[in-house]
Structure formats: structure tokens, C-alpha cells
Structure 1
Amino acid sequence: MPISRISLGSPAEASQPDALKAALAEFISMLIFVFAGSGSGMAFNKLSDNGPTTPAGLIAASLAHAFALFVAVSVGANISGGHVNPAVTFGAFVGGHITLLRSVLYWIAQLLGSVVACLLLNFATGGLAVGAFALSAGVTSWNALVFEIVMTFGLVYTVYATAVDPKKGNIGIIAPLAIGFIVGANILAGGAFTGASMNPAVSFGPAVVSWTWGSQWVYWLGPFVGAGLAALVYEILFINQSTHEQLPTTDY
């Protein structure tokens, strides 16, 4: 069972150079991802004079996030594993691929990266608002929670299948490409209902900068539940426990 491989880690790990470099890589990757992703939404608002979201705007957001995540995962892969998402880090922790202590370092770096990206966007655009995630009209918190759970399940399941599974073989750039694609596709599916976060850090940065916290718990609980379920399902059903080797980070 993956739960038996969960490790808390040692306090000394927090000062190890590789752990600090990995956290810095997560900070930079998250900054790249949020700056491009949230920036695309701000650009749409400027071009449409803060008009209502349109199908074209949704497609633009999907492409921007898919492209940016592909790059963000790729540039961090060899240093931190390219998680770029606290939920992905949690999924790796549940599967025994990263210690709790290193997970905390990643979470801090990811949240800071998102906040800094949103502050830079606010400054660079002359004070334009960084839109916080919010539920659409007619969508309850429980509706949104299910959306976020299912979308994040798909994301983390993709991470496991293309990046974590030791039987994946040499698939090169397929892992970050597939991860970017599933996020882009999920935005097309859920963007009109919840904003399709799938990533607590992505919703946290805009919430801090705009100080808008409505339904924020949905964007934390949903991704963490979905990530944990995906990790357990893939580990139990598809990873050969006898040959599995615990890794400090996801290997892609």
C-alpha cells in the first residue's frame, strides 16, 4: 500500500542544497505559469473592455494555460520534478515519492511564486485587477467541488501515468506535453463553471492580490481530494509494488 511508504522526512532536509534548489525551481516554474495564465485573462479583459467571457476567451485561456504549463513543467523537471501545483505535490506525497518536509518546502515556494506573479502582473499592467477565481451563477460550492475533484483526478492520474510510473520507459517530452494538454482540456470543460483551477496556488495568488476569498476552500479541498484519489488508484492498481522504489520527487 502506498500509505506505508509515506515519509515525514528529517529537519536536516530543509537545509540541504538540493531541497532548496528544488523549492526555488518550483517558485520560478509557478511564477512562469501564473504570469502567463492569469496574464492571458487580464489581456482578454483589456481587449474586451471587461466584457463578458466568450467562447473565444475560454479557448484563449485554455491554450495559454496548456502552453505555459508545458513549459513550466519542462524547465523544472530535472530539478524539482516540475510539480507546479500543490495538489500534484500532495499526490506524490501520498504515493511515497516525496517526504512531507520537502512537500512543505514545495508548497511554500509554489504559493509564493503565484503571489509574486500576480503582483508583477498588477504592476506591469498599470494596476489592472488580477481576477480571482469565482463560481459561475447557478453553480453551488458542492457542484464546484465535484468539478475540481474530477478535473484534478484527471491531471494527477496523467502525471502518474506519464511521469511517475517506473514502467513508463523513455517518453521524453510526452509527460509535460500530456500534463499541459489535460489542463487545457479541463479548462474547456470546467472553465465556464468554476474557472477550472485544479491548483490551489493558482487560485491563491489572485485571491491574495485582490483580497477576494469567496469559495476559496473549494479550490483547496477539491484539488487535494482529487490528487489523493488519483495517487491511490494508480499506485494500488497499476504500479508494481515489488519493484517500486521510493523517490525523493516525481521523476520527469
Structure 2
Amino acid sequence: MSANGTQTIKIEEGPPASIPKSCFDKLKMKVSTLDKICSFLAELIGTALLVFLGCMGCVKNDSYENNHFQMTFNFGLVVMIIIQCFGCVSGAHLNPAVTLAAYIYNMTSLAMAGVYFVAQMLGGFIGYGLLKALIPINAVTLNGPHNLCVTTVHAEISAWQGCAIEFIITGVLIFTCCGVWDPRNSKFHDSVPIRFGLAISCLAITAGQFTGASMNPARSFAPSLWNSDFQDQWIYWVGPLASAAVCSIVYKTIFRREVVEEKVNNKLRAMEEVPLS
């Protein structure tokens, strides 16, 4: 009872409610370990989707209409979607050649490059296996010498010409990656998925009829493994990987520049704002 005759009620505070913990908190998993697992899963799922959706868009027979432009443009759109989904998680390499370039460009460690490689190869295998399981058999097994999405060199060009084509178009892709990774381009990443998707479409439209425009060992190896068809397979390893090594070194050595202009401009602006006595 208070002095003015009113009754006071004392409310006892209980223990603070506990905040629900995630499964990773319960496992006491380190942030760095979680990031590596997330990057692995992003590359695994992303590469699986690349092969699954990209190769599904290449189905063409008497029952399913398709054309070269539709196939190649579809691959660009698929890349755009995957980068939008997983670019912020792992960088969405989806390609051992891009991962090799990222390692040379000091964007990732050797250990993480190995993790990415395993995820990409496994993801490609899963993606094509899922494709075989879900679409009709006549859409995967074709009447020609090679089945769906198996990349080979056109009969009218030699294997070394095909390797050179893969080297050049992969080089364009790697230069595009290095341009995005360049410190001077750090403020212009909003449209990266669109730019990459259009770059892939352009390269596939121009070179697709000659080599399949793979530019990606993981994308070529999975269909070859599932179909036991390894004709010209070496081209899709030597060309892209050699190009990734050469072009990333060239860009890093010759074209890359660190951003120093902002610091200089800030100093000049500070000097201008200082009042003269």
C-alpha cells in the first residue's frame, strides 16, 4: 500500500528469453568454416544448374523444335540467373578455368581453388544425371554420333583449330572476369550478371557451331562421362585452362591498376577546404 492509499503491485522479472540458435551455432561452427561450406554448396548447385538448364535448352529432335540462337542465348540467360543467385556467395565461378584465373589473380587461395574444382566437377555430374532422369530418353539419346550436349569439334576443322578456338573464346571470358575483378571496377558490379550472361551468349553464338563453345571443362566432362564419349575431350581441358592461365597473367601484369585517384582527390579537396589565414 502506497502513501496515497493506492495498492502497488510488484512485478518480478523472469530470466530473459533465450534467442533461438541456428544449427550452426549449436554445432559451434566457425564462421570461416561455414563460409567455405557455403561456397562449396554454391559452386555445386550452380554448376549443376548450369549443366541441367543449359543442356535442357539444347534439346532438339523431331519432337522438340530448337535452333542455334535459342540454344546459345539460353546458356547466357542461365549463367545470368546463377550469378544473380550465388555471385555474392562464392563468386559463381561455375568453371575450373575461371577458378584457375581467380587463383592467379589472387582472388582465392589454392586450397579454396581445389574446393571449387571438386564442387564444379561433382555439380556438373549431378546436373547431367538429373537431366537424364527427368526428360524423355529420345531427348538425350540422339540419332547422330553424339548424344545431347556432348561437345565435339566440327568435322570440317582440325582438333588443333578447335583447341585454338576454345583458347581464344575462353580468353575473352577470362578478360571479362579480370575486368570485373579490377579494383577500378569495384563500384560497377550491379549489372555483372547481365554482362556475363550476354558475354556467354555472344561467345556461344559465334563459336558454338565449331566447337560447342564450352569454355568450361566441367560443362564438357559431365556429358562425356555419362555417355562414355570422350572424343576431342582433351580440347576442352587444354584450351580453356591454358587460356585462363595465360590471359589472367597478362591482365594482372599489364592492365590491372590499383585505385589511387580517390585518395589524391580527397587530399586535394581537403586542401581546398582549409581556410587561408
Fold shared, TM-score > 0.5 on shorter chain: yes
Larger RCO (CA within 8 A; separation ≥ 6): 1
Q: Is the Cα contact below 8 Å between 1:73 and 1:84 reproduced in 2? A: no
Which letter maps to 1:45?
Answer: N
Amino acid at match of 1:109: A
Following TM superposition, where does structure 1 have runs of at least 4 consecutive aligned residues deviating by more than 4 angstroms?
A: none
For residues 259 and 109 of structure 2, what CA distance do their matches in structure 1 show? 20
- Alignment counterpart, residue 103 of structure 1, candidates 104, 108, 113: 113
Match of residue 117 from structure 1: 127
SS in 1 for 2:152: coil
SS in 2 for 1:193: helix
Aligned residues of 2:169 and 2:215 also touching (Cα < 8 A): yes
TM-score after normalising by structure 1:
0.83
Counterpart in the other structure of 1:143: 161
- Where does residue 178 of structure 1 map in the other structure? 195
Provide the secondary structure at the position in 2 that maps to 1:147: helix
Instruction: Provide the residue aligned with 2:78 in structure 1.
Output: 68
Counterpart of 1:47?
Answer: 63
For structure 2, which runs of at least 5 residues remain unmatched after alignment?
A: 1-29, 142-147, 261-277
Contact 1:114 1:202 in 2 (8 A): yes
How many pairs were matched up? 222
Residue from 159, 165, 183 that aligns with 2:182: 165
Q: Give the letter for the 2:95 counterpart.
A: N
Q: Which runs of 5+ in 1 are unaligned?
A: 1-12, 50-55, 244-252
Does residue 22 (structure 1) correspond to residue 39 (structure 2)? The answer is yes
Structure 1 vs Structure 2 CA RMSD? 1.9
- The answer for the alignment partner of 2:264 in structure 1 is none
- Structure of larger gyration radius: 2
Which whole-Å CA distance do the structure 2 matches of 1:109 and 1:120 have between them?
A: 16
TM-score (normalizing by structure 2): 0.75
User: In structure 2, what is the equivalent of residue 131 of structure 1?
Assistant: 149
Query: What is the distance in 2 between the residues matched to 1:94 and 1:57?
Result: 37
Asked whether 1:230 is paired with 2:247, we answer yes
Percent identity over the alignment is: 27
Equivalent-residue separation in structure 2 for 1:158 and 1:39 (angstroms): 26
